[in-house]
């Protein structure tokens, strides 16, 4: 089977979700399967100094074999790396490194899934765009694009034209994150339009709220605050976030399932309203997932005692309420290696809505 290179129209469009699903689907069908992230910007070194992309760590938790089935990145584009490489002019050497990785993996595997970074043109400044890499390793390129109609078709035509002009073998499209209420209409329109243009559509995945729901631990990470209580329940998920700036008696209508509440630390009335909603809802319905207290105001002793007794995850931070809320709103919570639930959801999403057998046929 030829390698498949999963590329996107932009960041965080669902490339890793699709990769997880395809890897699982290939293995289900008896193929020895490997994964490679050839180049990227978000990475970390293991104990031996080898550099792995964060997405490769997620995949390795699915494959249960980081050393064998994923390999360290050929090009880690950290701060200042682009400038260095533009001067060094080592494009051929870097591509040869990726080719060597793919060749090595092909000896012991039937199928190799490569995942690109950002959009299809990222890396073009180093002559290492998705098209350049796909062409160099004879991979077929599968494009992932967010669901819509007119905008989505425009993006598909733009990216597919770029890939083909750069000599890459463009195989087709998977559309992601279609809003459930519009799923049938979007699927029908895209199928008709892409069929007319000779572009294979291998699947349309619906938007799944769970995949966009981080854990409290992921929300708290990076806030730089003090955990006041609930350390044993930071695995709870957050479906929605609200700012507690109203009178406590009016809060209940805004608190839904798995709500994170952000409020100043001196609003003890709001904090107590959240604790009551949490205790009434219980662990199963979990109306309040967590509480972020802002402005560095420590609650009074009685409220603090109730927070700790309730076991509701609560963090105290120094920033003002608006800044903290804006920071959390702008975050993108990618799947992490320890987030088994979201990995399982990603696999199921791809298995249910992407035609894996048709993709395999296109790779043979």
- The pLDDT score that the predictor gives to residue 147 is 95
Which class for 21: exposed (0-12), middle (13-18), buried (19 or more C-beta within 10 A)?
A: buried
Distance (Å, whole) CA 150 – CA 24: 32
- The pLDDT score that the predictor gives to residue 208 is 84
Six-digit token string for 342: 């979201």
Q: Among 297, 291, 328, which residue's Cα sits nearest to residue 312?
A: 291
3-state SS, one letter per residue, for the chain: CCCEEEEECCCCCCHHHHHHHHHHHHHHCCCCEEEECCEECCEEECCCCCEEEHHHHHHHHHHCCHHHHECCCCEECCCCHHHHHHHHCCHHHHHHHHHHHHHHHHHHCCEEEEEEEEECCCCHHHCCCHHHHHHHCCCEEEEEEECCCHHHHHHHHHHHHHHHHCCCEEEEEEEEEECHHHHHHHHHHHHHHHHHCCCCEEEEEECCHHHHCCEHHHHHCCCCCEEEECHHHCCCECCEEEECCCCHHHCHHHCCCCEEEEEECCCHHHHHHHHHHHHHHHHHHCCEEEEEEECCCCCCHHHHHHHHHHCCCEEECCCCHHHHHHHHHHCCCCCCCCCHHHHHHHHHHHHHHECHHHHHHHHC
**Tens-binned pLDDT, residue by residue, of the chain (364 aa):** 999 999 999 988 989 889 999 999 999 999 999 888 887 666 666 666 666 666 766 777 666 654 556 666 556 666 666 777 777 777 788 888 889 989 988 998 999 999 988 889 988 888 889 999 999 999 999 999 999 999 999 999 999 999 999 999 999 999 999 999 999 999 999 999 999 999 999 999 999 877 778 889 888 988 889 999 999 988 888 888 889 888 877 777 778 778 899 999 999 988 898 888 877 755 444 578 899 999 999 999 999 999 899 888 999 999 999 999 998 887 777 777 777 888 888 889 988 999 999 999 999 9
We find that the CATH architecture of domain 215-330 is 3-Layer(aba) Sandwich (3.40)
Tell me the whole-structure pTM to 2 decimals.
0.79
Which class for 110: exposed (0-12), middle (13-18), buried (19 or more C-beta within 10 A)?
A: middle
- The pLDDT score that the predictor gives to residue 283 is 46
- The pLDDT score that the predictor gives to residue 46 is 63
Give domain limits for the chain: 4-208+336-363, 215-330
The CATH superfamily assigned to 4-208+336-363 is: P-loop containing nucleotide triphosphate hydrolases (3.40.50.300)
- The pLDDT score that the predictor gives to residue 276 is 83
């Amino acid at each position: 089977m030829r390698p498949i290179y999963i590329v996107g129209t932009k960041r965080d469009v669902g490339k890793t979700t699709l990769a997880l699903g395809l890897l699982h689907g290939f293995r289900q069908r008896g193929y020895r399967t490997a994964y490679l992230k050839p180049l990227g910007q978000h990475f970390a070194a293991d104990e031996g100094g080898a550099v792995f992309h964060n997405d490769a760590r997620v995949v390795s938790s699915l494959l249960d074999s980081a050393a064998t089935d994923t390999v360290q990145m050929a090009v880690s584009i950290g701060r200042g790396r682009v400038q260095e490489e533009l001067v060094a002019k080592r494009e051929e050497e870097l591509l040869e490194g990726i080719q060597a990785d793919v060749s090595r993996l092909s000896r012991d595997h039937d199928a190799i899934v490569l995942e690109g970074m950002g959009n299809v043109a990222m890396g073009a400044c180093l002559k290492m765009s998705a098209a350049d890499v796909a062409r160099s390793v004879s991979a077929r390129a599968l494009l992932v694009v967010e669901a819509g109609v007119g905008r989505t078709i425009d993006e598909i035509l733009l990216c597919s034209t770029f890939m083909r002009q750069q000599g890459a073998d463009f195989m087709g499209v998977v559309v992601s994150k279609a809003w459930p209420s519009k799923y049938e209409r979007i699927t029908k329109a895209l199928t008709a339009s892409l069929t007319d243009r000779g572009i294979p559509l291998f699947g349309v995945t619906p938007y799944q709220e769970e995949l966009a729901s981080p854990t409290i631990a992921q929300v708290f990470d990076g806030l730089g605050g003090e955990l006041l209580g609930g350390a044993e329940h930071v695995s709870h998920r957050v479906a929605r976030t609200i700012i507690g700036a109203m009178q406590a008696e009016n809060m209940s209508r805004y608190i839904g399932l798995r709500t994170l509440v952000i409020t100043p630390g001196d609003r003890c009335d709001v904090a107590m309203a959240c604790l009551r909603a949490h205790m009434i809802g219980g662990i199963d319905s979990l109306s309040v997932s967590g509480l972020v207290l802002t402005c560095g105001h420590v609650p009074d002793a009685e409220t603090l005692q109730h927070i700790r007794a309730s076991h509701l995850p609560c963090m105290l931070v120094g920033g003002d309420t608006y800044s903290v809320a804006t920071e959390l709103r702008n975050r993108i919570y990618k799947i992490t290696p320890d987030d088994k639930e979201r990995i399982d959801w990603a696999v199921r999403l791809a298995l249910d809505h992407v035609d894996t057998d048709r993709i395999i046929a296109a790779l043979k």
